[in-house]
Amino acid sequence: MHIRFDAHPYRFQYRFPRILVDLDRLTELSHYGIGYNRFAPVSFSDWDHGARDGRALRPWIVDRLAASGLGQEWGRVELWTFPRIWGYVFNPLSLWYCHDPSGSLKAVLFEVHNTFGEAHHY
């Protein structure tokens, strides 16, 4: 939702699907009708996240966490993001939920994309 309060209030709201994917189960996305690294009406691509060079996402996030001093041992890692729709993606914010081997949430990484095609991680 977006709201502006000028002389007249402006508001628009739109529904857009988000998906939560387990990085260890990406190949199972096809069971839910979502293409993985291929064209489909709804798809998920490694090119849209992390290093954005098509490499596997799990090694990228583990390296990123280790570089921040958070260690190398991680359990489930999930990514909450917008999927591609008919090959197009609008993805201003993705959240990486990183759990330790016991399943406790230990880190959340924010991946912010701007209109210049840049990505920043917090």
CA-nearest of 104, 106, 100, 107 to 121 is 107
Question: DSSP characters for 56-117?
Answer: -HHHHHHHHHHHTTS-S----EEEEEPPEETTB---SEEEEEEE-TTS-EEEEEEEEE-TTS
Which pLDDT band, with edges at 50, 70 and 90, does 1 fall under?
low
For the whole model, what pTM was predicted? 0.84
Q: Which domain holds residue 70?
A: 24-121
Residue 2 has pLDDT above 70, yes or no: no
Q: How far is CA 112 from CA 9, 39, 81, 109, 118, in A?
A: 28, 24, 11, 10, 8
In this prediction, residue 61 carries a pLDDT of 96
In this prediction, residue 11 carries a pLDDT of 73
**pLDDT digits 0-9 by tens, 70-83:** 988 999 999 999 99
Q: Quick check: is 90 in a domain?
A: yes
> What mean pLDDT is predicted for residues 109-120?
90
Rounded Cα distance between 102 and 113, Å, is: 31
The domain total for the chain is: 1
Q: Quick check: is 88 in a domain?
A: yes
Rounded Cα distance between 51 and 103, Å, is: 25
Q: Quick check: is 19 in a domain?
A: no
